[in-house]
């Protein structure tokens, strides 16, 4: 059986008097590429916060890379998890190279009195070249396009050789060309690192990378379906998750969705 990198078992989560998640079970094995899909407010970001070892569940267990949350030093665990968030809260004008190097320190800003080794810089430049930003290594964060920032954050997440890589709606704010460039970068990961597991959160089927192997649908804080992507992303199950009639399409290894017009019948 494949090594399990993430095992979320019977997890619930409450915020005050409001229950956000209800009995979630999700297991991701090494080398699998998952997408988590659901409407706004369904609980996607909360579930991702467990996978990134940032939030503890109210009940249930979360095992990440063989370590159970609550029984492991979290800072060390988080260094094994890559996290690509387009809302990266960087305030200073670090260069692309400096941003990527913060993946080694696990910080947003460059730590004071910390200097990367020559080997670190070589590794950073290699990662930057892999995501197609070799000519932009010295460019400041504030002059980068949103698409360039997204690819820089992928390089940042990879420099520490993570075993689990999380994407939180990574194509947010991108135009079509930048979106496709970023999806190509994500797709290349399966060839670069066959054992790397990924979990990508989105609510747009068009933003699912071609190499995605599994899908989970979440609605109202409950997983309504999870498993191999072709078994999960059916018109019936996606419609149920979004509480609206949706026709799901699949062509040229890419997924699509469109609302069914009033009076039409799903096949």
Q: How many CB atoms lie within 10 A of CB 153?
A: 24
**Residue 187 burial by Cβ neighbours in a 10 Å radius (0-12, 13-18, 19+):** middle
Pairing mode of beta strands 4-15, 18-29: antiparallel
Options 1.20.120.330, 3.40.50.300, 3.30.1330.10, 1.20.140.10; CATH for 1-80+162-267 is 3.40.50.300
Q: What is the pLDDT at residue 266?
A: 53
Q: Output phi, psi for 64, to 5 deg.
A: -120, 120
What pLDDT digit, counting tens, does each position of 43-101 carry? 999 999 999 999 999 999 999 999 999 888 888 888 889 999 888 999 999 999 999 99
113 Cβ neighbours under 8 A, 6+ residues apart: none
DSSP state of 99: H
What predicted TM-score, i.e. pTM, was given to this entire model?
A: 0.91
Q: Where in the chain is the domain with CATH 3.40.50.300?
A: 1-80+162-267
Options 2.60.40, 3.30.450, 1.10.8, 3.40.50; CATH for 90-160 is 1.10.8
């Amino acid at each position: 059986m494949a090594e399990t990198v993430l095992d979320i078992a019977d997890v619930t989560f409450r915020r005050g008097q409001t229950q956000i998640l209800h009995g979630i079970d999700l297991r991701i094995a090494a080398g699998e590429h998952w997408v988590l899909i659901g409407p706004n407010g369904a609980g996607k970001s909360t579930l991702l916060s467990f996978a990134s070892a940032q939030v503890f569940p109210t009940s249930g267990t979360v095992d990440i890379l063989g370590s159970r949350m609550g029984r492991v030093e979290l800072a060390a665990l988080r260094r094994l998890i890559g996290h690509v968030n387009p809302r990266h809260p960087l305030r200073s004008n670090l260069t692309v190279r400096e941003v990527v190097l913060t993946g080694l320190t696990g910080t947003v800003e460059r730590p004071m009195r910390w200097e990367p080794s020559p080997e670190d810089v070589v590794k950073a430049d290699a990662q930057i070249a892999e995501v197609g930003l070799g000519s932009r290594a010295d460019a400041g964060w504030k002059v980068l396009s949103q698409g360039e920032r997204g690819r820089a954050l992928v390089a940042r997440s990879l420099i520490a050789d993570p075993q689990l890589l999380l994407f939180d709606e990574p194509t947010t704010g991108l135009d079509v060309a930048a979106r496709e460039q970023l999806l190509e970068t994500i797709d290349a990961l399966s060839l670069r690192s066959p054992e790397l597991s990924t979990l990508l959160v989105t609510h747009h089927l068009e933003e699912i990378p071609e190499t995605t192997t599994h899908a989970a649908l979440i609605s109202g804080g409950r997983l309504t379906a999870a498993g191999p992507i072709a078994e999960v992303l059916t018109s019936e199950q996606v419609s149920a998750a979004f509480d609206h009639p949706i026709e799901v399409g699949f062509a040229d290894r890419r997924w699509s969705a469109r609302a069914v017009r009033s009076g039409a019948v799903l096949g």
